[in-house]
């Protein structure tokens, strides 16, 4: 797959406090030709998003400081990031937790452990005309 497949998503911001998850996503998304910004908490992710908004956020929910749901709500209220798609990638998997993610404004919800191909499929979907 080449970066030409990702005609709408070129820059992805990942926020996850687990180094293994960050590294796995970063390596694989870079291998797909995407520019990747990696943050280990919600506060640094918000600062990075404000300085250069990405085309997609991939957020963990459970992070120190500003958690993923708080970050998501803040992103949705900020005109710079309000319309940027957000994937919640989290171990929180109960129906109530998933519902909380959707109502906070997530565009997609993936539970850990996850299949990397599911993440890539969603990114491809975002690059499809009419998927906005």
- List, in order, residues 6 or more apart from 86 with CB less than 8 Å away: 56, 57, 58, 59, 72, 75, 105, 106, 107, 108
**DSSP states of 4-22:** GG-SS--EEEEE-S-HHHH
Query: What three-state secondary structure class fits 53?
Result: coil
**39-69 per-position pLDDT tens digit:** 999 999 999 999 999 999 999 999 999 999 9
CATH number at residue 32: 3.40.50.2300
Per the CB < 8 A criterion, the answer to whether 54 and 37 are in contact is: yes
Q: How many domains does the chain have?
A: 1
Cα-trace Rg, the chain: 13
Q: pTM score, two decimals?
A: 0.91
- The confidence score (pLDDT) of residue 8 equals 82
Asked if the structure places residue 4 within a domain, the reply is: no
Q: Round to whole Å and give the CA distance between 97 and 100.
A: 5
Residue 3 has pLDDT above 70, yes or no: no
Question: Is 45 within a domain?
Answer: yes
* Domain enclosing residue 88, as ranges: 9-124
Within a domain: 129: no
């Amino acid at each position: 797959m080449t970066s030409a497949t990702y005609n709408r998503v070129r820059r992805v911001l990942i926020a996850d406090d687990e180094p293994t998850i960050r590294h796995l996503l970063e390596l694989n998304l870079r291998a797909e030709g995407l520019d990747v910004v990696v943050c280990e908490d919600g506060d640094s992710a918000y600062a990075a998003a404000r300085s250069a908004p990405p085309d997609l956020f991939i957020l963990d929910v459970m992070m120190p400081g500003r958690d993923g749901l708080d970050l998501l709500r803040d992103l949705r209220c900020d005109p710079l990031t309000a319309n940027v798609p957000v994937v919640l990638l989290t171990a929180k998997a109960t129906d109530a937790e998933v519902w909380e993610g959707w109502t906070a404004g997530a565009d997609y919800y993936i539970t850990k452990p996850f299949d990397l191909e599911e993440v890539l499929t969603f990114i491809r979907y975002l690059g499809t005309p009419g998927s906005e």
